[in-house]
Amino acid sequence: MDTIEIKEAFKAIVANKAMLNGSTFRDVAMTNVKIVDANLSDLEIEGAQLGGAYIHNIGMPPRGHQMYDPEAKQRPLRFENCDLNSSTITNCNLSGVSISDCNLYGMTINGILVEDLLKNYKK
C-alpha cells in the first residue's frame, strides 16, 4: 500500500472507489467534507468540533443497494463525552440504546420531558 503524506498544505482530496483503510487525519480542517456510500466501520473521531454536522442515512445498506444483506446486523455505535446539546434525532432506530450518566435537562422524547418520565417512573 502506498502512503501519501500531506503536511502544512491547502489541498482538496477527491477519492472515488478508493480504499483508505488505516488513514489518519490529525490537526486538520475538514469543513464541508462529504462522505457518501462509505464503509466507516471502526471509525474513531476524537477531539473534533462537529457543530452543524448533518449525519443521515447511517446503517447497513438498504434493500435495493448492491451491498444489501438481509442477514447483516449493524454493530453498535458508542458516544462518550460528547456535547450533543440542542441536537435533533429524527426517524432513527434507537432500540436497545443505553443512556447513562448524562445530563438530560430539557431532553424530550416525542415532546415529553425525559426528566418528567423518569420522575413518574420512580413513583
Computed on alpha carbons and rounded to an integer, the radius of gyration of the chain in Å comes to 19
Distance CA 106, CA 56 (A): 23
- Inter-residue contact 89 to 79 (CB < 8 Å): no
C-alpha cell at 105: 435537562
| pLDDT value at residue 3 | 87
Mapped onto helix, strand or coil, the DSSP state of residue 118 is helix
Question: What pLDDT does residue 54 have?
Answer: 93
pLDDT at residue number 1: 78
pTM of the model: 0.76
Residue ranges in the chain modelled with pLDDT below 70? none
pLDDT of residue 49: 92
Distances (CA, A) of 96 to 2, 45, 77, 104: 41, 23, 11, 18
Residues 6+ apart with CB under 8 A from 72: 60, 61
Identify which of 30, 60, 61 has the alpha carbon closest to the alpha carbon of residue 45.
30
What integer pLDDT is reported at residue 120 of this predicted model? 93
